[in-house]
Structure 1
Amino acid sequence: MSHRDDYTYDVEQQLPLPEFFRKYRDKLPLLVIVTDGFCGETKNDEYAYAEIIRLHKSCQQLRVLCKLSANDGAKEEFLSIPVDCSCMFSEVKKLKRVGKPKLMLELLAKKKLPFHVRYASSSDGVITPTLLECIKGVDILLMKTYIEDFFLGNCLQQEVLSPIPSIVALCPNISLSIITGYANKSQDQFHAKLWSMEAFVQRNITFYEGSSEITRFNRSSTTTGTGNPIPIDLLPLDSMHSSDKTDTPPMFISRQKSKSFQDETYDMYEPPPYLGSNQRFSEFEKKPSSLPTESVEYMTVLEEDSTYSVIEVGDTKFGKPFENMKCITEPIASDSDSANNSWSGGSSKSFVTEKSVHDIQQILKRLNLSNYCKTFKKNLIDGTVLQELDEQSLKKDFKFMHVEAVRLMKYVRAGHIPK
């Protein structure tokens, strides 16, 4: 993780993620620091304080709320399925017969909600084995479509932008502040760093527009399984037992709050001023949901043929399933490296990780380090092994000169190739 003291930011300007989304969703990209972290239910709402993230863009994902047919006495359970999901479902017809397997997008484009389906098949790993056992052979009632909002970005690790895309859910327990510069470097160097990040993302990263997973939750859950809070008006009231009915939406209960920046500035024997997480949540509850629901009447087929179909909800169009999230592993040489000396330290994941022993041999030749090819080949140094090394181990174990070790590590961490 990059060190927070290397950057300048205003903690007083921190905002919880829902408010940050409303204010800055159209002003991205931004480099931000987590000033109030949270250990959430998913990887999308679990970010530690002091974590630095480059927010690339915001996105809206159309999902469909479903209800599982429960046995008598069983807890009422719901599913949230991406409309662009690659899984196949079959419509349940009269006499419990089922139709041909179709994508969710195709079913919603041709059939008015609500209606029942059954899971048919999946071409990827969007369903966990536990969930698969739960939904196989079970009638699933598709109830209504709704929209979830997310940030898409990449975390910064040891001053290196991770090539693994991050989906950031709008968790009200996480707060962000905008990073405005380096603490001990010029603004020109900071802007060069931002430019380098933009070039890396544009060339190497492909984002999936939302969460690809089918998730399961119930009325006692704090999120829909994606990391986003359950919208106040999402779940139907008429299906609740009379003892469960309430005018107050379920509380978003913190599972584990991480230490915030402000906590460090107060003496441990004096109770610090409360940061207002409850107050923030109260405000979040009273405001209209930022994740609006849409009824099926607003869904229309815009275009449909054998290869592509589009549906529209309100002013937003949703089309055929996106490609699975992928990361192109081609390195990028940044023009800003000569002016930016901040690429220090290794990344827990770099874009050389997937490269073979043969690929590393070619990289050594390109960096004029071919005299080490034989030793690297003998020791089976592939990308995964290489990204675990550093300058000291290269000099000690492989007898690199200092400048040679720096040259190789610059490539591993930033894709830099001397001009």
Structure 2
Amino acid sequence: MSEHRQLPAAPPLPDPPPRPKKRQPTQDEITKARLKFLKEMSKHYITNEENIVAKEMFRLHKYNWPQILVVTAGCEGESDFVTFSSDEVLRVDREFNYQCVLARDRVGRIISIPLDFDIKCRVVSHDKASEKQFIANIIESHSLPVTVKFAVPDNHIFDLGESAHRADSFGCMALLKVYDETYLISNPLIDGVLDPHIIIIPLYLEMLISTVVGAEAMSVKEWEEYTEEVKKDAAKLDFSSVKGRKAMAIYPDIPDEAQDTDIYSYIRPDSYVILREKETGRIPKERINYCEIYKCDKDENVYEEITPSVPPRAPQKKPCSSKSAGPPIPKRDKSSTSTKLPPARSDVSDLTVAELGEKLKLLKLDKYVKKFEKEGIDGSILVEMDQLILKKEFHFKEFEAIKLTKFVQSGHIPS
């Protein structure tokens, strides 16, 4: 009987090589991917398509902030602070009330002064003036109305529109009543990311805005998570230091029967009054919102103008229309308000209608291109026009007329 031979045991199989571990993305890669997604997401927001102005949006969402808004029709103002472009996205965190006092000056103008105005006044009674006090202190210790007069150092002057006036030229004013001026506090959303720069939105702006309620690239839950994420970013910001305008504002006269405590939040001021030192020609450094707007369509010569000894103003960094004080401005002849442009550059007068249109675009005056084309305005005609014609016939704002005048005079295009 044959014996069966037992085969030797097979050697053990070698262990399979370990699978390579899946590389985890770095935090930097995660952040970049998130930013890329948010950038694409921000191109396709879903809105309620209200297309309403700021004051109507305020009434719609009052006490129901924050809200994300998109500008559907922009507006160009006298400064960056009141200029918004179409498709700009803003997250409004809250409404903000800024206390001011209404006053009436010696020529009947309505003036709004911030309650924390940092210039002292004297209370005037029976032609006698009291000690210097801040306006807030005067209101706290006196019943309104009360007559006051600015107690400004001799080395300061007021800029009113395009002209400068001595510090004592305002004379006496009657402080009438305290009111709240309302603004919206917001931050831009740039490519879906909250920008820490705080912007206050005046309620009188005529731009059109709509509420953003979602994004095409996000589900409802993802959108809610995204808005919570933005809310946490906003919570890191300090909104407590935000203030309204620092300048005095001059408002159009409003009939007594139409006056309301909040009506001035919805009305664009006619002009702003800026205080500066005449030696240095500087405007105080603090520059919250639109305190450097220069605009005045009414007769500016109701106040006594500065003397020829005042040195020229130093150039400012960002005012919308800054001119040298120079010699005193002669009293305006009310029978003729023409402000004929100085001799123009010859190359401006040679511009065709189309070429002038391109220059208007470079000056960010695009909205007047079609009007000029319709009227056949070329360079030769433009140099014969004055600021009065630009404002009356073509509805230029004061600053826009100044900008075009500067171009005609020197070919200057802001860079």
Higher radius of gyration, 1 or 2: 2
TM-score by length of 2: 0.46
TM-score by length of 1: 0.46
